[in-house]
Amino acid sequence: MKRVPLQVYNYAGGLRIVAQFILRSKELNLFMPIQAIVDTGSPVTMIGNLDLARARLSKIQLRKLIGENKPVNIGGGKVITKVLENANIKFSNGNLEVEMPVQFPISGEERNNQPSLLGIDFMLKTKSKLIFDPSRKEAYFEINEGLEK
């Protein structure tokens, strides 16, 4: 059994589970650290506008990606995203690395404070369980060995 530690702290008015990982993409020539809220209500993993600005990825660069455009409902609004099919997510402790689709917002709600989200698609891909003890402010993914690829 493999455990991938997560952070728990107050953010945006409540306790949030936060995953820290490195996002890599050869297609975008991208290598950057990401702090994403583990969002069990989000079906997809999405890199938020704050991280897009840090990466200096323009909407024009994202529109040139080969992946498809997908509408995603977030916070009561609809956002059109571009799918980067072969993104690589590696947790900083080296405990887990997975290749999976990641979405980037390209139009719609222009909220500059949208955080990055690690969605249910990640948990399905890695066959992981989320263990969360809010009173102790502890959280981690639990993954059976050999199932993370």
Q: What is the mean pLDDT of residues 125-148?
A: 88
Q: How confident is the model at residue 78 (pLDDT cuts 50, 70, 90)?
A: confident
Please give the tally of structural domains in the chain. Answer: 1
Q: Tokens 């990401």 identify what position?
A: 34
Q: Tokens 């660069």 identify what position?
A: 61
Per the domain annotation, does 64 fall within a domain? yes
Q: What is the mean pLDDT of residues 79-96?
A: 85
- Please report, for the domain that includes residue 87, its CATH number: 2.40.70.10
Residue 49 phi/psi, 5° resolution? -60, -35
Per the domain annotation, does 110 fall within a domain? yes
Q: Which domain holds residue 41?
A: 2-143
Per the domain annotation, does 43 fall within a domain? yes
Q: Which of 40-49, 60-69, 87-96 has the lowest mean pLDDT?
A: 60-69
Q: Residues with Cβ < 8 Å from 125, sequence gap 6 or more? A: 98, 100
What's the pTM value of the predicted model, to 2 decimals? 0.86
Per the domain annotation, does 149 fall within a domain? no
The first and second tokens of residue 114, run together, are 């949208």
Q: What is the mean pLDDT of residues 66-91?
A: 81
